[in-house]
Amino acid sequence: MSPRSAHAHLPTSSGPSSTLDAVFFALADSTRRALLARLRGSEATAGSLATGFAMTRPAVSRHLRVLRQAEMVREERRGRERVYTLEPLRLRLISDWLDDYRVFWPARLHDLKQFIESMPDDDAPGPPQVPVRRAPRSLKRRPR
């Protein structure tokens, strides 16, 4: 999906749910994640952010607009340049949302550990093993 067509599907309602939708939408694209990674170290101009991508500068600008609308980056005009800075608050919002699900894994692993520990040891006598019967040679298929 191109950034232009993707822009039409941005969440428009307000509230915490729509904010999360906008952030997850912004993160769903690998180009936008790469732009955020470049901004992790320091601010950068739109032109310097566009270098290295196999797309036009206007296409990168559309990706930056999606990030701006999700409030994941801040744009500041300095003369003729636009300088972008990472806004970590939205990433914190995702982290907080994921915290509700992080408790799931320790509980599931604890349940798995209990289940495995309740299984009988391999050394304990179990049900008798039934020998596997082989088909007579005359019924086996010959390679062609």
CATH top-level class for 3-91?
Answer: mainly alpha
Rg (CA), the chain: 28
How far apart are the C-alpha atoms of 83 and 95, rounded to whole Å?
26
E strand or H helix that includes residue 48:
helix 46-50
Contact call for residues 66 and 3 (beta carbons, < 8 A): yes
Question: pLDDT value at position 142?
Answer: 60
For the cut 70, the answer to whether the pLDDT of residue 136 exceeds it is no
For the cut 70, the answer to whether the pLDDT of residue 125 exceeds it is no
pLDDT digits (tens, 9 = 90+) for 54-87: 999 999 999 999 999 999 999 999 999 999 999 9
Angle, vertex CA 60, rays to CA 33 and CA 32, nearest 5:
10
Q: Where are the domains of the chain?
A: 3-91
pTM of the model: 0.62
Q: Average the pLDDT over each of 20-34, 73-87, 92-106, 123-137 and give the range with the smallest value.
A: 123-137
How far apart are the C-alpha atoms of 130 and 22, rounded to whole Å?
59
